[in-house]
């Protein structure tokens, strides 16, 4: 199933403010900050461990009425999800459904790095998990 931890996502109110710590204090150079209109967010990936390493993803909601804004208002800044890379997202979705895992997606969604599904935190000990098949 999963090959590796792709990224750990942290939800923030303001990416530029968050970068004062991650970039300026920790010294992690982010990639390009990008908007993902389909998800109503701005994101910044901060690579760690060289080629093939994991990343920290900073997520900033763009609209006040999105599910991510509601998450941020309810829980505050912090861990949003852990993303695991899989070689085949369609096979992963079928396997999760066959095993009765509560998945939040009936079809893979387009993600910043490829196609992905989310697994409900109630089956993963309170952690929202994303499975992603990265674009080749």
What is the CATH topology of the domain spanning 4-134?
2,3-Dihydroxybiphenyl 1,2-Dioxygenase; domain 1 (3.10.180)
- Alpha carbons 98 and 11: distance in angstroms, whole number: 31
pLDDT tens-place string over residues 106-130: 999 988 889 999 999 999 999 999 9
SS3 content of the chain, % helix, strand, coil (to 5): 20, 35, 45
Take residue 63 and report the two structure tokens written for it. 């609209």
Compute the C-alpha angle 39/43/49, nearest 5°.
130
Task: Say if residues 1 and 94 touch (Cβ distance below 8 Å).
Answer: no
Element at 133 (helix H, strand E): strand 129-134
* Domain spans of the chain, in order of start: 4-134
Distance of CA 58 to the CA centre of its chain: 9
Compute the C-alpha angle 87/91/93, nearest 5°.
110
Tell me the whole-structure pTM to 2 decimals.
Answer: 0.94
pLDDT tens-place string over residues 63-103: 999 999 999 999 999 999 999 999 999 999 999 999 999 99
């Amino acid at each position: 199933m999963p090959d590796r931890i792709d990224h750990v996502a942290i939800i923030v109110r303001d990416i530029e403010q968050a970068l004062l710590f991650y970039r300026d204090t920790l010294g992690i150079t982010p990639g390009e900050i990008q908007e993902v209109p389909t998800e109503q967010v701005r994101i910044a990936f901060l690579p760690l461990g060289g080629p093939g390493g994991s990343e920290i993803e900073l997520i900033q909601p763009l609209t006040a009425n999105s599910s991510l804004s509601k998450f941020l208002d309810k829980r505050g800044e912090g861990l949003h999800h852990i993303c695991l890379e899989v070689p085949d997202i369609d096979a992963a979705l079928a396997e999760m459904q066959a095993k009765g895992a509560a998945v939040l997606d009936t079809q893979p969604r387009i993600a910043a790095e490829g196609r992905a599904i989310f697994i409900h935190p109630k089956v993963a000990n309170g952690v929202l998990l994303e499975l992603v098949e990265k674009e080749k």
